[in-house]
Amino acid sequence: MKPPAKKIYLISDSTGELGERFTNALLSQFPKSPIVLKKHPFVQTREEAAKAFAKIPLAHRGILFHTVLSPELKKTIETFCRKRGIPAFDLTGPPTDFMVRHLNVRPVWDLRSLHPTNQDYDRRIDAIEFTISHDDGAGQATLKEADVILVGPSRVSKTPTSIYLAIKGCRTANVPLIKEIGVPAALQKLAGDPRVVGFTLQPLKLQEVREKRIAQFGAAPGFYADLRKISREILWVEEIYKQFNWRVIDVTDRAIEETAAMILKGLSLKRS
């Protein structure tokens, strides 16, 4: 019989994205421990904090992280935790205190500054709109307007990586490479372009991904998940990458965050 999962409760006065990312990074180091994250976002008043604590079982098996900016709300959460016997840790307080102490600066404690609607925000919105309109080979007439162009065979994470890059403010296009069709004319004009990144994947892994796709969505060509066909397909795209002098990333067992970081780092180095 499996032991019950332990809990990490996360209270945030905003979306909770910061705390969630931090917590998930920590949880990745405890793969054998059943731990569940329970998030309570947009807690900005004492009343909302009370409602969040009311959802935590009395017989809890967990700890609490919080990422709130208001000193008063921090104290409220700490008081609730002491009364309930819940071990708590402030994810924003110690780093802020460290900066104050060593940089001689003072925080403004402005919640709106976490998600500003400024020029950077507008750039990210534009990038998302561009990426959506240039997904899966669409919009090839305006490929030259992209910051990054991802190419590769079907099911090698081009679209999710494109979306992640767009959220970072990077106008991203992705174009599938299909052996039976050849390299699109718009791509042929971009030989040696540092913006173009070719994705490759180990054939067995790609077969696994495609088989799951077929099981989930049904109909697909008979050769779509055939290992021999996939192996030839991978060899072909890698020859194309070499022919057109495009940068290559093997995305086998690689998280899209890591792939995106490699793309952006490489693009920066090429431009410097």
Q: Are the C-beta atoms of residues 196 and 241 closer than 8 Å to each other?
A: no
Q: What is the pLDDT of residue 271?
A: 46
Q: Look at the domain 119-271 and name its fold.
A: Rossmann fold (3.40.50)
pLDDT at 57: 87
Residues of the chain with CATH 3.40.50.2300: 6-114
Rg (C-alpha) for the chain, rounded Å, is: 24
State residue 32's pLDDT score: 84
Residue 272, pLDDT score: 38
Nearest to 77 by CA among 142, 145, 13, 161: 13
Instruction: State which residues of the chain have pLDDT below 70.
Output: 1, 111-118, 219-222, 269-272
What's the rounded Cα separation, in Å, for the pair 265 and 251?
Answer: 16
CA 135 to mean position of chain CA atoms: 17
Predicted confidence at residue 18, as pLDDT, reads 85
**Whose CA is closest to 172, among 156, 181, 161, 184?**
161
pLDDT at 150: 98
Query: Among residues 167, 172, 133, which one has the least CA distance to residue 263?
Result: 172
- The CATH class of 6-114 is alpha beta
pTM of the model: 0.72
